[in-house]
């Protein structure tokens, strides 16, 4: 077995995108209003915008949503973020118009390089184009682009791009059929 010296672990290069005071204030506001049972989406939208999120019109943010850094988040018009969704946006996350992030879904932009002794942090953004649906409990991994109107079904995991107008299922997610919209 290889011994790992984590004292050499250095991710000082990582940029939160905001100062420590702003980040600390966000942690408090998020705990009280966004990542809580607080039911009113309008106030959450206001607070997310106040902290730098770009959010379109008629967006819904349900209770107990976890958003790491709102200043690295864009949500288009008429999109929906479900209960207990987790947007772990160490890198930028762009959610298009008319998207649905169902309850318990995870958008994960960070990972670690397990091939290096120092287990370095790796971050890559996520793009959900218009009309994308991420099912309940599904996970989108760093660097993924979900093309227009693609679906990642409940409990599925993708670490690869999803084709437009396609439905994916499983871990790893595979295309199971075309998405026909009437």
Over range 145-158, report the average pLDDT. 98
- What pLDDT digit, counting tens, does each position of 86-138 carry? 999 999 999 999 999 999 999 999 998 888 888 888 999 999 999 999 999 99
What's the confidence (pLDDT) of residue 116? Answer: 85
Q: Please determine, for residue 6, whether its predicted confidence score (pLDDT) is greater than 80.
A: no
| 3-state SS, one letter per residue, for the chain | CCCCCHHHCCCCCCCCCCCHHHHHHHHHHHHHHHCCCCCCHHHHHHHHHHCCCEECCCCEECCCCEECCHHHEEECCCCEECCCCEEECCCCEEECCCCEECCCCEEECEEECCCCCCCCEEECCEEECCCCEECCCCEECCCCEECCCCEECCCCEECCCECCCEEEEECCEEEEEECCCC
Question: What are the residue boundaries of the structural domains of the chain, listed by start?
Answer: 18-178
What's the confidence (pLDDT) of residue 71? Answer: 98
> Which class would CATH give 18-178?
mainly beta
- What pLDDT digit, counting tens, does each position of 25-84 carry? 999 999 999 999 988 999 999 999 999 999 999 999 999 999 999 999 999 999 999 999
Of the candidate ranges 7-11, 72-76, 135-139, 149-153, the one whose mean pLDDT is the lowest = 7-11
Q: CA 110, 28, 25, 41: dihedral to nearest 10 degrees?
A: 80
Q: Please determine, for residue 24, whether its predicted confidence score (pLDDT) is greater than 90.
A: yes
What's the confidence (pLDDT) of residue 15? Answer: 83
What's the confidence (pLDDT) of residue 95? Answer: 98
What's the confidence (pLDDT) of residue 5? Answer: 55
Can you give the pTM of this predicted structure? 0.91
């Amino acid at each position: 077995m290889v011994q790992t010296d984590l004292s050499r672990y250095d991710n000082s290069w990582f940029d939160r995108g905001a100062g420590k005071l702003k980040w600390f204030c966000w942690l408090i506001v998020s705990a009280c209003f966004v990542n809580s049972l607080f039911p009113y989406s309008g106030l959450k939208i206001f607070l997310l915008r106040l902290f730098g999120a770009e959010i379109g019109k008629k967006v819904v943010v349900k209770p107990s949503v976890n958003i790491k850094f709102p200043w690295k988040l864009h949500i288009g018009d008429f999109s929906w973020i479900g209960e207990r969704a987790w947007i772990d946006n160490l890198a930028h996350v762009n959610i298009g118009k008319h998207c649905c992030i169902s309850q318990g879904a995870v958008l994960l932009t960070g990972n670690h390089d397990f091939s290096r002794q120092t287990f370095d942090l790796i971050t890559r953004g996520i793009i959900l184009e218009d009309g994308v649906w991420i099912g309940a409990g599904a996970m989108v991994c760093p660097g993924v682009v979900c093309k227009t109107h693609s679906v990642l079904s409940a409990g599925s995991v993708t670490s690869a791009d999803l084709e437009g107008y396609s439905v994916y299922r499983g871990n790893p997610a595979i295309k199971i059929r075309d998405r026909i919209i009437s």
